[in-house]
Amino acid sequence: MDFIFLLTGILFVFIIAFLFSNNRKKIKYKRILIMLAVQILLVYTMMNTSIGLIAITSVGQFFEKLMAVADSGIEFVFGGMVNKGATTFFFVALLPLVFMSVLIGILNYIKILPFLIKYLGLILSKITGMGKLESYFAVSTAVLGQPEVFLTIIKQIPHLSSKRLYTICTSAMSAVSMAMVGAYMTMLEPKYVVTAVVLNIFSALIIANIINPYDLDDHEDLIQLEENQRVPFFQMVGDSVMDGFKIVITVAAMLLGFIALMELINVIFLSVFHFSFQSVIGYLFAPIAFLMGIPWPEAVKAGGIMATKLVTNEFVAMLNFGEISKNLSDKTIAIVSVYLVSFANFGTVGIVSGSIKSISEKQGNHVSKFALKLLLGATLASVISGTIMGIVM
C-alpha cells in the first residue's frame, strides 16, 4: 500500500511539474529515477537500520547539547524573565539561533565548512548529473541558509543563465540552514528534521530537472568560489552574533504579524461563514495530503498545516502542527514533519529575489519574473520529500 502512495505522490508531482516545464523534451528521466532511488535508499537506511538510527539519534543529541550550551548565554542575559517551568518560544527556539550562527561562522572561518561543502557538492554532481556549481549550492543551502549562501557564489551570479538561476533558487527555497535546525527540533521530532534536510537536497534537484531541464558545456560550469576578504577572528564572531540576532528578530516579527493575521482571517471566516479559514485551505490541500500517503480521515487537518506553511511560513505551521499532532497517526506526523522542513513559502520568494537583486539587479529581475514558478517548484520538492518519508512508516 505504501508503494502505491509513493507512486501517486510522485506521479502528482511529476504531472504538475511537467505541465509547467520549460522544455519537456530535455527532461532526463534516468537522472530523476536515480535521484529517487538514492532518496528511498537513504530514508530506508536512516529510519530502518541500526546504523541509520544511531546516526540520526546522534545528530539529534548533538543539537540538543548545542541548544543547552546556547541556554547558558540566554540564562545569563535574560535569567528570571521566564517563570520557572514555563516555556517561551522566543527563548527556547529563537534565541539559540544566535549561538548557532556563531558556531557556523567559526566553522566557516577555519575552512571546515567550505571544504565539506565543496567536496560533497562534487560527489553529488556525479550522482545527479547536474553542474558542479548547482550541486555545490544544493549542499551549501543545507548549511548556510539565506541570504548568506548567495554570497558564496557572488562572482558567478551575474554570469548565470536564467535556467541555472532557477535551479539554485529552488535549492535555496527547498533547504533549511543548520542554524535553523536546532529551532525546528524544539517543535518536531529531531529524526524527521535530519531526514528532511538530506531528502530536500535531492528533491529540489529532481524538480529542477523536470521544470527546468538543461545541458551544460564544460566551460559553462564555473566552480570558482568567492574568497571573501579575511577579517580578524573576533570581528567575525561579532558579525556572526549580529547576523544571528537579526535572524531572531526577523523571525519573531514575522511570527507576530503572520499569526495575528491568520487569527484575524479565522475570526472573519468564523463570523461570516461559521468555519475557519484553515478549514477551507485544509480541504483544498487534503487531496494532495492523501496522495502523499496520509490517511483520508486525517488529510484535512494535515492539508491545513501544509497550506498554512505555504501562505505564512514553516514556524507558524510547526506551532499549529504541535497543537493537533497528538491526535494524528505516526505516519501522518512523519510525512507532515518532513514536508514542513523547508523555506517554501511566499515570504521566502521575496528574500531570494531581494538577495539576488542586491548582487545583480538584472539577475534579480529574472528571478522576479519566475517567482511563482519558483514557489511551485519548492513546494513540489517538499511534497516529494514527504512522500518518500511515508513509504518507511
Cα 67–71–75 angle (5° rounding)?
170
Domain that holds residue 6: 1-390
Helix (H, G, I), strand (E, B) or coil at 145: coil
Closest CA to 35 of 104, 124, 96: 124
Quote the pLDDT of residue 140.
83
Quote the pLDDT of residue 97.
78
| Residue 247 pLDDT greater than 80, yes or no | no
Quote the pLDDT of residue 219.
65
Q: CB-based burial of residue 22 (10 Å sphere; 0-12 exposed, 13-18 middle, 19+ buried)?
A: middle
C-alpha cell at 88: 517561551
| 356 in Cβ contact with 363 (< 8 Å) | yes
| 193 in Cβ contact with 341 (< 8 Å) | yes
| 160 in Cβ contact with 168 (< 8 Å) | yes
Side-chain half-sphere exposure of 305, counting CA atoms within 13 A: 27
| 136 in Cβ contact with 149 (< 8 Å) | no
C-alpha cell at 146: 539565506
Report residue 224's pLDDT band, with 50, 70 and 90 as the boundaries.
low
Mean pLDDT for the stretch of residues 309-333: 89
Quote the pLDDT of residue 38.
93
Q: Dump the DSSP string for 285-318.
A: HHHHHHHTT--HHHHHHHHHHHHHHHHS-HHHHH
**What pTM was computed for the model?**
0.85
| Residue 55 pLDDT greater than 70, yes or no | yes
Q: Highest mean pLDDT: which of 69-83, 107-121, 146-160, 377-391?
A: 377-391
Amino acid at position 32, single letter: I
262-281 pLDDT per residue, tens: 788 888 988 988 877 877 88
Q: What is the DSSP letter of 94?
A: I
The four Cα atoms 13, 123, 339, 176 give a dihedral, to 10 degrees, of -130
Number of domains in the chain: 1
Q: Any alpha helices (H) in the chain, and if so which ranges?
A: 2-19, 29-48, 50-78, 89, 96-109, 112-128, 132-141, 148-151, 162-174, 178-185, 190-211, 233-272, 277-291, 296-311, 314-324, 330-340, 346-359, 361-369, 371-390
**In this predicted structure, which of 168-172, 220-224, 247-251 has the lowest mean pLDDT?**
220-224
269-312 pLDDT per residue, tens: 889 888 778 778 888 899 999 999 999 999 999 999 999 898 88
| Residue 336 pLDDT greater than 90, yes or no | yes
C-alpha cell at 173: 527555497
Helix (H, G, I), strand (E, B) or coil at 83: coil
Report residue 7's pLDDT band, with 50, 70 and 90 as the boundaries.
confident
226-246 pLDDT per residue, tens: 555 678 888 988 988 888 888
Which own/partner contact pairs does 8-13 have at CB distance under 8 Å and 24+ positions apart? 8/291, 8/292, 9/291, 9/292, 9/293, 9/383, 9/384, 9/386, 9/387, 9/390, 10/36, 10/384, 10/387, 12/288, 12/291, 12/383, 13/207, 13/380, 13/383, 13/384, 13/387
Backbone torsions φ then ψ of 154, nearest 5 degrees: -60, -35
Report residue 53's pLDDT band, with 50, 70 and 90 as the boundaries.
confident
Mean pLDDT for the stretch of residues 166-172: 91
